[in-house]
Structure 1
Amino acid sequence: MSKPFTIQINGEPFHCTSSMSIKDILTYLDIDTTFSLIEYNSDLLHDDQIENILLNQNDKLEILTIVGGG
């Protein structure tokens, strides 16, 4: 069993009770990556990277959603 830890999502604390990938977090938050940019510890990620990165204490995610308008 993994130890609980805290990450930052868009500057807000998010408490994880188990080991999670970035994909797990995005699924939990119901975020569609089709229209979002994901930054992990200051690195912009490609869609194929989000399943392979497991989050750790104090990691930082920035989730930017692209919105069209006129």
Structure 2
Amino acid sequence: MKVFFYSIVLSGETYKIYTKSCLTLSDMITFFNYGNQLNILEFNGQIYTKLNKQKIHQKYLQNKDQLEIITIVGGG
């Protein structure tokens, strides 16, 4: 059985992840329980907004990738 290892930096914190399959940016958002709404994602310096979120399903993670996830919260 093949095992994939990722050491990912998410919002300044390093996470070590072992998985049986390759992970996409979309998988990471789900893994860390971020909703798919109102997020801005920075992946290795590239910004992904609501307008181009379809691309996050096609971007596969590699060891030592860096992510920042910003969740926008409204209120009144």
TM-score (norm 1): 0.87
Shift of residue 48 of structure 1?
0.7
Residue number among 46, 50, 54 corresponding to 1:48 in the alignment: 54
Q: Distance in 2 between matches of 1:58 and 1:22?
A: 13
Amino acid at match of 2:75: G
How much is the aligned-residue C-alpha RMSD, in angstroms? Answer: 1.3
Shift of residue 33 of structure 1?
2.2
1:58 aligns with 2:47: no
Is the partner of 2:37 in helix, strand or coil?
helix
Shift of residue 3 of structure 1?
3.6
TM-score (norm 2): 0.81
Q: Which runs of 5+ in 1 are unaligned?
A: none
Work out the percentage of aligned pairs sharing the same amino acid. Answer: 27
Q: Deviations over 1:4-57 (max 9, x none)?
A: 120100011111213211111111112112111011001101211111111011
Aligned to 2:33: 30
Q: Which runs of 5+ in 2 are unaligned?
A: none
Is the partner of 2:26 in helix, strand or coil?
helix
